[in-house]
Amino acid sequence: MKKLKFALASLLFIGLCSVVSAQPTMMKHQAKGVSCEQCHKSAAPVAAAKSKTCMQCHNYPDLAKASAEKKVALNPHDSHAGQLRCTLCHKEHQQSVVYCRQCHKNADDKRFDMTVP
């Protein structure tokens, strides 16, 4: 019985690790006490959260200013592409992506090698 409990606990632990390691942003949100429900609007999420909910706590003007202050090569929050949906770049539960690369495919253009949290 003890062995079984240990095996189950290990499985759960490994499971949690694999989920957690794939979601850097979520760690930040969890650390700040942002609940699943605040993004998903339901206690047991069944669908992807909408970008609109991000705006309850974040907004483009402030983000654009923060990026500008970091002196990034290209401001992801203030570009000709406009106010893109946040979730095109920020993936809460998986590796985030640089959406700009959908069009700007030239790998030599290092300005687009942004690290998205």
Told to check if 94 binds ligand HEC by CB under 6 A, we report yes
Task: Tell me how far CA of residue 19 lies from CA of 10, 16, 63, 96, in angstroms.
Answer: 14, 5, 27, 15
- C-beta separation of 56 from 33 below 8 A: no
Which parts of 17-46 interact with ligand HEC (CB under 6 A)?
A: 24-25, 28-29, 32, 34, 36, 38-40, 45
Told to check if 65 binds ligand HEC by CB under 6 A, we report no
In one-letter notation, the amino acid at residue 76 is P
CA 82 and chain centroid, separation: 19
- C-beta separation of 35 from 43 below 8 A: no
What is the nearest approach in angstroms of ligand HEC to the Cβ of residue 100? 3
Question: What separation, in Å, do the N-terminal and C-terminal C-alpha atoms of the chain show?
Answer: 42
Using the minimum distance from each CB to ligand HEC, give the nearer residue, 5 or 110: 110
Residues that bind ligand HEC (CB under 6 A): 24-25, 28-29, 32, 34, 36, 38-40, 45, 47-49, 53-54, 56-58, 60, 63, 66-67, 70, 72, 74, 76-77, 79-81, 84, 86-94, 99-100, 102-104, 114, 116-117
